[in-house]
Structures are given as C-alpha cells and as structure tokens.
Amino acid sequence: MESHRAFRSHNDHSERGYSAMHAPVLVLNASYEPINICAARRAIVLVLKGVAATEEINGHFLHSSRVAIRVPSVIRLLEYRRIPHQTRALSRKNILLRDRNTCQYCGVVLPASELTLDHVVPRSRGGLSTWENLVACCHECNRRKGNAMAHECGMRRAHSHCTPVVT
C-alpha cells in the first residue's frame, strides 16, 4: 500500500512537479473503451503495479532518486473491467471523453465548455441520439453544418480518436 510515496520527487513541491503529478490521464479499458480520467500519480501507480500499461506518454518525466518515469497521458487496463451500466451512460460528458475534447470535423481540441455535440445524421433526417451518431463538435463547425450532412457542406468527419496510437 502507499507504494506511490516512493515516487514522490524533490520536484514534487515545485510548480512543475506538482502539475506533472496531477496531469489528467485517460484510462482505457482492456477493450480500448475510455472509462475514466485519473491523475498522473495514480496512473503511474497502476502501471507500476502491472494493472495497466502505458499507451501514450505526455513528454514529461517524473524523477525519483534513481529513475525517471515517463508520465503517461493514456493508460489501458490489462484486464477487462466490467463497468456498471450507468457510468457508460450516453451523456455529453462521456461523448466528449470518448472524443477527447476534439472536434470531430476540424480536429481542434477545446475545453468542454466550448464544445457541443453534433448529430452526424441530423435529427431532422431521423438521426438518433446514440453513441454512433453523436460526436464532439466545435461551435463553428456546428454552425457550418447546421441540419446538413457533413459532406453536403464540404466538411469531412475526422478520423475516430477512439483507438489511441500505441507508442
């Protein structure tokens, strides 16, 4: 227990060490489904315990007295974890989490407050509010697209961000 204490570094008290330890890390299930966001410190503990593997790193290092640890930005649980149904509920928050706050049309990354949800197939054309038909979208793209299909206004849907690049 409390094994993470060993990795508290001298830098931990500095601004930089503090923010590195608390940087948000996306947690994926073994199936690559996004399930949570945790702090870097917690993510590193999960990786060191062999519970999760690093999928992407954020470029920062944490230094303990002997080793430098790459700070993950995405980790994946090695064993599939059953998630209670309600936490996978279709919600604005979960769609933005899945799309990693990235507009699925122009690729811009924005805070949640500056993103909206777009119906890929507009509701006016029978599009449903489902995981498959809802994507994160910036206000500008949302205005441009209106009630049209993306291809009708010269827009192209960006690649899915569901599957992280393994580095």
User: 28-44: b or e for each residue (b if 16 or more CB lie within 10 Å)?
Assistant: bbeeeebbbebebbbbb
**Is 11 or 142 the residue whose CB approaches Zn ion more closely?**
142
Residue 115 touches Zn ion, criterion: CB under 5 A? no
**Is 7 or 105 the residue whose CB approaches Zn ion more closely?**
105
Q: Which of 74, 105, 115, 150 binds Zn ion (CB under 5 A)?
A: 105
Helices (H) and strands (E) in the chain, counts: 4, 6
Q: Which of 141, 145, 150, 161 binds Zn ion (CB under 5 A)?
A: 141
Residue 26 touches Zn ion, criterion: CB under 5 A? no
Residue 103 touches Zn ion, criterion: CB under 5 A? yes
- In angstroms, the Cα distances linking 97 to 9, 84, 144 are 30, 17, 23
**Is 35 or 109 the residue whose CB approaches Zn ion more closely?**
109
Partner residues linked to 68 by β-bridges: 63
- The binding site for Zn ion (CB under 5 A) comprises 103, 105-106, 138, 141
